[in-house]
A and B are shown apart, each in its own frame.
Chain A
Amino acid sequence: MARLAARGIEIDLPEGWDARITRRETPPVGARATTATGTAPPPPALVHAATRSLPAEVGDFGSGAVELLRSQDLFLSLVEFERDSLGSPLFAVRSQPKRLRPSDFDPQALQRTLPGQAGTQVFFTVADRPFCLYVVLGSFARRSRTVPVVNGVLEGIRID
């Protein structure tokens, strides 16, 4: 079990996972907001983790990586949004998801539909930071076996 920490996010990862904690290059919406002191907030963070080797270039929501997933593989993306998204209904949930259910996953919930795969998205706010958790399963049929593995990783994520 290795611990990665950067940009206010800590994650404990089991052996065999590839992962990165980086910053988002392109904020999705709006201009950069400023804090009460007039300084720009740190750039939004981006976490990618997978049970396969991550390519050098991976889109925020896994393009470039999800296409490589085998049936037993998992991909997880934790995408931080700009601070000006705070307070919007989309990010109203004020707790970090720690436990997903197999029924949360749907083949139609993928950013790009791929045969056999399934995904889920959860929007939430923690520490005044708006996030989207996006998880892709390599196989919808194996979800009862792979979702507990995802939950094990989610338990090990801490956001400051």
Chain B
Amino acid sequence: MPIDAKVVQQVAVLARLQVEASEEARLVKELTSILSYVEQLQDLDVSGIEPTSQVGEGTKAPLREDEVKPSNVRDEALAQAPDRDGDYFRVPQVV
């Protein structure tokens, strides 16, 4: 599907990324250019090929024991909150 301003805005909504109208043309051009470039992957025959989502599959590292280890970052972490209400992080209400 060709990228146009409408598609860019739809993707922007999915990504929660504000795209100004003034940026649309540039983004259309750039994304089209990149997607055209990656089209070359369609030339390859990948039938029967397993996808690699992770190199090094097959390690037998042990899993973590079910142990509680309290963390002490709570105060430092809450102190960084852009907005808080006592113990809670606070955000504008979901509307």
Are A and B part of the same complex? Answer: no
Task: Give the A-binding residues of B (Cβ under 8 A).
Answer: none
